[in-house]
């Protein structure tokens, strides 16, 4: 365990950044970019959740809005792409389904699932946690306010990596918009404009 580069197998290396992305912010983008460089990834695919079951107690913006914000935020980076698989599958989103589908669509590819320290600490509570590690390597990225520790995950299945710390959360971005405070420079400019255009996070915001 610890920060190390997983030895190459000669296969294509695909990073997978799953998230609710409500909205996507620069913390997500910096984590993906840093991990891509350190782990020599060929591509990072961002996968917005359909229904994030662990956030069922809170209101979540429509999947199409979260998907479009993710496309806008990643469009200028040739190494980044966005997948609709979790949205189009329907129902609650489980990472085991995400990885099975990506594995089926990309047979000659090594998968690297990227999570923040908060999500990494929860993985043993995810559906079919044992099988997750046979489908993908997991990379836990530092996140301000969350300690990056080994939560007892399988040997060799997880790497921890220090990324430049950005104390940004989607929760904070939503609250700032609700209060009328700016989110410029916390999220990409196009995402600020999209939030304004769609009236997200205000009193009249569209809901799922």
The contact set with ligand NCN (CB under 6 A) reads 18-20, 49, 52, 54-55, 93-96, 119, 126-127
In angstroms, give the least distance from the CB of 147 to ligand ATP: 13
Token reading at 124: 């043993």
From ligand NCN, ligand ATP, none, interface partner of 141 (C-beta below 5 to 8 A by class): ligand ATP
Position 170 contacts ligand ATP (CB under 6 A): yes
Classified as helix, coil or strand, 143 is strand
Q: Which is closer to ligand ATP, CB of 1 or CB of 166?
A: 166
| The residue to which tokens 């970019």 are assigned | 33
Q: DSSP label at 92?
A: B
- Alpha helices (runs of H) in 90-187, residue ranges in sequence order: 95-105, 117-120, 129-135, 170-179
* Residues in region 132-151 near ligand ATP by CB under 6 A: 141, 143
* Residues in region 23-52 near ligand ATP by CB under 6 A: 27-28, 31
DSSP string for 61-119: --HHHHHHHHHHHHTT-TTEEE--HHHHH-SB--HHHHHHHHHHH-TTEEEEEEEEHHH
Position 15 contacts ligand ATP (CB under 6 A): no
Q: Which residues does residue 116 pair with via DSSP β-bridges, in sequence order?
A: 141
Q: Which is closer to ligand NCN, CB of 118 or CB of 180?
A: 118
Return residues touching ligand ATP (CB under 6 A): 19-22, 27-28, 31, 115-116, 118-119, 141, 143, 166, 168-171
């Amino acid at each position: 365990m610890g920060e190390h580069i997983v030895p190459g197998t000669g296969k294509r290396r695909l990073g997978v950044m799953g998230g609710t992305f409500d909205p996507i912010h620069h913390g997500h983008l910096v984590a993906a970019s840093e991990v891509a460089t350190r782990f020599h990834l060929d591509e990072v695919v961002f996968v917005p959740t359909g229904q994030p079951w662990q956030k069922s107690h809170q209101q979540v913006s429509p999947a199409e809005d979260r998907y479009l914000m993710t496309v806008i935020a990643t469009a200028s980076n040739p190494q980044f792409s966005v997948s609709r698989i979790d949205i189009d599958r329907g129902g609650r989103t489980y990472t085991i389904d995400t990885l099975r589908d990506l594995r089926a669509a990309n047979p000659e590819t090594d998968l690297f699932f990227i999570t923040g320290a908060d999500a990494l600490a929860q993985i043993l509570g995810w559906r079919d946690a044992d099988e997750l590690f046979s489908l993908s390597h997991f990379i836990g990225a530092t996140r301000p306010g969350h300690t990056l520790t080994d939560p007892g995950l399988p040997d060799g299945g997880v790497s921890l990596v220090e990324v430049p710390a950005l104390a940004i959360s989607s929760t904070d971005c939503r609250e700032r918009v609700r209060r009328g405070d700016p989110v410029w420079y916390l999220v990409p400019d196009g995402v600020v404009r999209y939030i304004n255009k769609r009236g997200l996070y205000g009193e009249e915001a569209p809901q799922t």
